[in-house]
Amino acid sequence: MIHYALKCEAGHQFESWFQSASAFDVLAKAGHLSCAVCGSSQVSKAIMAPRVATKAKAAPPEPEQASVPALHNPPTEVEQALSDLRRKVEENSDYVGENFTKEARAMHLGDAPERAIYGEARLDQAKELIEDGVPLVPLPFRPKQKLT
């Protein structure tokens, strides 16, 4: 197992474990990594200090220090608000993925029962839904990819 400090294109920093260095590369190339804060799939390795074991056993870290990684910055108010919004959306809505346009239109036309959904749509698809009077709200984050 290997531990990496990661960052996204928006500058959010987070950490994750991978089976190996090549496992990270395979997952990144396939687009299966996403930012823990905003959902961006543009994730790369951040600079991190190596953890080197020495012969002398060091004293264990204080309990409060042990739970916070050394390179972790506390989330800003905006990052925390986005994280809370994402959690609420994911807990209270059905993820429909790329079927968002079809599902939203079907509910608007009465062909499907109304429910809270979220998913993915291209800009032209979203504009078309809005022009047709389908109520929708763009989310300030990308949905997490569901792996099957």
Query: What's the whole-number mean pLDDT along residues 58-76?
Result: 59
Confidence of residue 115 (pLDDT cuts 50, 70, 90): very high
Q: Are 41 and 34 in contact (CB under 8 A)?
A: yes
- The token duo for 92 is 């209270």
- The residue written with tokens 């687009």 in the block is 31
- Looking at the chain, the whole-number percentage of residues with pLDDT higher than 90 is 25
Given this model, what pLDDT does residue 18 score?
82
User: pTM, whole model, 2 decimals?
Assistant: 0.50
What does pLDDT average to over the chain? Answer: 81
Given this model, what pLDDT does residue 148 score?
46
Cα distances from 92 to residues 47, 87, 138, in angstroms, run 36, 9, 16
Closest CA to 73 of 3, 16, 5: 5
Query: What's the whole-number mean pLDDT along residues 102-131?
Result: 93
What burial class does residue 147 get, using C-beta atoms within 10 Å of its C-beta: 0-12 exposed, 13-18 middle, 19+ buried?
Answer: exposed
Per-residue pLDDT reduced to its tens digit, 28-57:
888 888 887 888 888 888 876 666 666 665
